[in-house]
Amino acid sequence: MRNIQLSYSINANRRSDREQSGALLRNPLIDMLHAVREQGSISAAARQLDLSYRHVWGQLKDWEQELGQPLILWERGQAAQLSPFGQRLLMAERLAQARLGPQTEALRAELERAFSIAFEDAGNDGQTTDVLTLYASHDHALTVLQDVAAGVIPLKPPIRHKLHLDIRFAGSVDAIRALNEGRCLVAGFHTQPFAAAGSLSARTYRPLLRPGTHKIIGFARRTQGLMVPAGNPMRLQNLKDVVRLQARFVNRAKGTGTRLLLDELMIQDGIDAIDLDGYDRVESSHAAVAQAVSSGDADVGLGTQYAARAFGLGFVPVTDERYLLVCLKSALDLPAMQKLLALLRSRAWHDALNLQPGYAADHCGEVAAMKRLLPWWD
């Protein structure tokens, strides 16, 4: 077992590190291996990383000695290639990043909230930042909203009121339970908007939501579908194809909205769990499912279009669904909630959301009765 140490940086640049690097946790060795694989030479990798050739060469040699394995293979006149060990390192790191994505984002948010107190005390802009705790199913649009609300990603026209979204990622069902247990003020969940009144989705969510106590808030519409290798080599178009061709499936855990969606689709298609190869194999996020498909450990998984694109995968749309927020009616007048609603209703946020692959603005910031945004509600 190798020792792992974590570190973080405080950046004066208000532009999010996520936009620049694509990863919240960074490691110099992994960055160099990525660059060598992409560029095909040490010198080109050094230029990409804005480092000297001597530094990159020396660091790679030091790491090879430390790890006891070759990292780079090259011959004179040939492009540099990662050794099999180097390739396994990248694959292992990418899988870990995908599996830990929700926890890493939550840790980042907690650190930002802690440091924001120090910067506010320093009087950097004279504004106070309200904090709103939100348990929610992991979703890329929520992460973007978190950065926008904190002023990390600017909107045009700008949003004046700063808000810290303290997001704790959990499955859709678990998120609503957290709200009902008083662990948060807002919960995020997703569901098919046109499911029948007797559907599995309706039977699952209805006992958790109480008219007169809860209020539904529109957030976004997103597309879920089959994430497949680029080019869709098995020509999968639906779950029936997955079963018929015995494609290796990777699932999400119980309590997640995507697992609920899969079970709903299986009921509609008359598919039993035993017929789906991989039904009991679960990953913790859309990114982790996408990584399993990207690495060849699975042939297909159900997830968002954004996750598929982020990992260079093919995507077969299956259904659109609403991502909704729910809060207690008594919380609507709180300053933090009013800031959130103002942000969600802004034209700038609608435009920003529509730019995200697989997302569209849908009743954003609208406070509605159950029947308005949950047509299956009885």
Q: How far apart are CA 30 and CA 82, in angstroms?
A: 11
- Amino acid 15: pLDDT: 46
DSSP output for 239-270: HHHHHHTTPPEEEE-TTSHHHHHHHHHHHHHT
pLDDT at 280: 95
CA angle (287, 144, 265) in 5-degree steps: 45
Number of domains in the chain: 2
Residue 374 exposure: Cα atoms within 13 Å on the Cβ side:
30
Q: Up-side HSE of residue 301: CA atoms within 13 Å toward CB? A: 33
- pLDDT of 93 reads 82
**Distance separating alpha carbons of residues 345 and 219, to the nearest angstrom:** 9
Distance CA 323, CA 165 (A): 17
Distance of CA 268 to the CA centre of its chain: 27
Residues 48, 148, single domain; the answer is: no
Question: Does 88 lie in the same domain as 166?
Answer: no
Residues 303 and 184 in one domain: yes
Question: Which residue numbers in the chain have pLDDT < 50?
Answer: 14-21, 122-123
Same domain, yes or no: 246 and 367: yes
> What angle do the packed helices 335-345 and 140-149 form, to 10 degrees?
110
Would residue 348 count as lying in a domain? yes
Cα distance between residue 289 and residue 320, in whole Å:
19
Measure the CA–CA gap between 185 and 334, rounded to whole angstroms: 10
Return the CA Rg of the chain. 23
Q: Are residues 182 and 289 in the same domain?
A: yes
197 and 337 in a single domain? The answer is yes
Q: Are residues 138 and 285 in the same domain?
A: yes
Residues 338 and 227 in one domain: yes
Residue 197 three-state SS: coil
Distance CA 102, CA 108 (A): 10
Q: What are phi and psi of 103, to 5 degrees?
A: -65, -40
The reply to whether 133 and 80 lie within a common domain is no
Q: Which range marks the domain in which residue 39 is found?
A: 17-94
Question: What gap in Å lies between CA 168 and CA 184, rounded to an integer?
Answer: 9
